[in-house]
Amino acid sequence: VKKMLDENRLFPADSASRSMAVRLYETVRDLPIISPHGHCDPRWFADNEAFPNPAALFIQPDHYIFRMLYSQGISLESLGIPQADGSSTADPREVWRIFAKNYYLFRGTPTRLWIDYAFEKQFGLTERLSPKNADAYYDVIAKKLETPEFRPRALFEQFRVEVLSTTDTPIDPLDAHKAIKASGWKGRILPTFRPDSVIDAEYAGFVENLQKLGEITGEDIGTYKGYLNALRNRRAFFKSMGATATDHGHLTAMTADLDAATAESLYGRILSGRSVPEEQKIFQAQMLTEMAGMSVEDGLTMQLHPGSVRNHNKNVYEKFGRDKGADMPSPTEYVRAMRPLLNKYGNDPRLTLILFTLDETSYSRELAPLAGHYPALRLGPPWWFHDSPEGMMRFREQATETAGFYNTVGFNDDTRAFLSIPARHDVARRIDCAFLGRLVAQRRLDEDEAFEVVQDLTVNLVRKAYKL
């Protein structure tokens, strides 16, 4: 059978490490996918409608793809990226042709690995995408999307996803999740409590969001106590809907531990709409500590994703809105920033706090030393720009010697691109096998241990950290 994907892709080039990697991979290749953090739309699984066309499936939801095309002068309009006012006029087949013509731009990127995997494994396409075969590709994919096997629920089952967590705002009534439950379908889709929209005073619609939070919970958000109770209330609701985790996307990792009166007064300033940026930062810092405290109470695992400078490109933001490939990483400090929270809750075994970073310099300098000491801390996998073969290898090389394997939590695909999920997990498994294969080849780890570790990295650590 003709193949585009090599069986041994991503394994080390030297034969000793490679042969060990191959043997390890055979034991994890077919394990179920556990996806405890990501951005799939639960509505897909509630409605179970066909994806409309190849461009809508592959290109328009995937900022990795359209940011690269944009960087080379291709307009977002021509790619059919919806504008902030909802308009989008590009013909999907034309979008696909642009993509095919520029597919060479993705050489050496993880996007190429993910997309080729989906083409071959899901659609049986084994000739590299090019301008010549663009239309043929489009037709094959479009046709398959019309079949029952390519409906979201069928794909979910075909991918052998054991759990898929979404990311949801506290004021979301979780209707899609309710509909999934009500439908009787057995796919396990869990919400995640992500309260940025009611904590970050710069978030679009912040004040309205707070009002809704008050209404939906019946709490008086006019007081700090009422506000905290409202959050507690929604956490409980999310938990009742299956959530096992919260998630927090802050500009920095700053935490605070204010006394009650100061916190109350600060909340008053935030609520007034007249707060200055410095107050907003401290409020966010305080809220991370409050959230950790609530996690100690209710057992929800806490995730922190700091360090993204959002909407860097003003033109793109004004025309197309959020999440359009224009968020940029920023240097992020953890040791001093996390101290207030860690001194309050870091020694508490009831808390699991998973730290992520966009600043790889923190792996060996701050994150591994912190996670190698505090019982409450775990390290999330390489995130976003670093969710890539070289990025994952750097993470293992830079974090393992201080934090070990057992202060990490397996892989997150963290994607909006549903079709890429199996490919992303496959890349992660291969890189873990490559790393372990080298450790065995260099006699830094015994073979029997490597087989145990690779199981832990693939399924056991994620189940434990996220309480799945």
Select from 40-48, 285-293, 296-304, 441-449 the region that touches its own copies (CB under 8 A). Answer: 441-449
Q: Using the rule CB under 8 A, is 389 a contact of its own copies?
A: yes
Least Å from the CB of residue 141 to its own copies: 21
CB of 95 or CB of 441, closer to its own copies: 441
Least Å from the CB of residue 106 to its own copies: 7
Q: Using the rule CB under 8 A, is 397 a contact of its own copies?
A: yes
Q: Binding its own copies by CB under 8 A: which of 38, 152, 214, 325? A: 325
Q: Using the rule CB under 8 A, is 29 a contact of its own copies?
A: no
- CA distance to 121, 176, 199, 466, per residue, from 243 (Å): 31, 14, 19, 10
Least Å from the CB of residue 219 to its own copies: 33
Q: Using the rule CB under 8 A, is 126 a contact of its own copies?
A: no
Q: Which residue has the tokens 């050496």?
A: 108
Q: Binding its own copies by CB under 8 A: which of 56, 183, 329, 464? A: 329
Least Å from the CB of residue 461 to its own copies: 12
CB of 215 or CB of 401, closer to its own copies: 401
What residues between 407 and 426 interact with its own copies by CB under 8 A?
407
Q: Binding its own copies by CB under 8 A: which of 126, 158, 265, 442? A: 442
Contacts of 70 (CB under 8 A, 6+ apart): 76, 79, 325
Structure-token pair, residue 10:
């991503």
Q: Where are the alpha helices (DSSP H) in 314-456?
A: 314-320, 339-345, 362, 368-371, 389-403, 421-441, 447-455
Q: Using the rule CB under 8 A, is 343 a contact of its own copies?
A: yes
CB of 227 or CB of 435, closer to its own copies: 435
Q: Using the rule CB under 8 A, is 386 a contact of its own copies?
A: yes
Long-range contacts of 70-76 (CB under 8 A, 24+ apart): 70/325, 72/102, 72/105, 74/98, 74/102, 76/316, 76/319, 76/320, 76/324
Q: Binding its own copies by CB under 8 A: which of 1, 6, 240, 273? A: 6
Select from 41-49, 234-242, 386-394, 410-418 the region that touches its own copies (CB under 8 A). Answer: 386-394
With CA atoms as reference, report the closest residue to 126 among 18, 212, 5. 5
Structure-token pair, residue 98:
């642009």
What residues between 36 and 55 interact with its own copies by CB under 8 A?
none
Q: Binding its own copies by CB under 8 A: which of 52, 218, 299, 331? A: 331
The DSSP element (H or E) to which 304 belongs, if any, is strand 301-304
Strand, helix or coil at 9? Answer: coil
CB of 241 or CB of 338, closer to its own copies: 338
Q: Binding its own copies by CB under 8 A: which of 52, 108, 218, 222? A: 108
In the DSSP assignment, the letter for residue 32 is: P
CB 198, CB 172: distance < 8 Å: no
Q: Using the rule CB under 8 A, is 441 a contact of its own copies?
A: yes
How far does CA 112 lie from the centroid of its chain? 19
Please name every residue paired with 301 in a beta bridge, in sequence order, or none if there are none.
245
Least Å from the CB of residue 317 to its own copies: 10
User: Checking DSSP bridges between strand 308-309 and strand 328-329, what pairing results, if any?
Assistant: antiparallel
Contacts of 460 (CB under 8 A, 6+ apart): 410
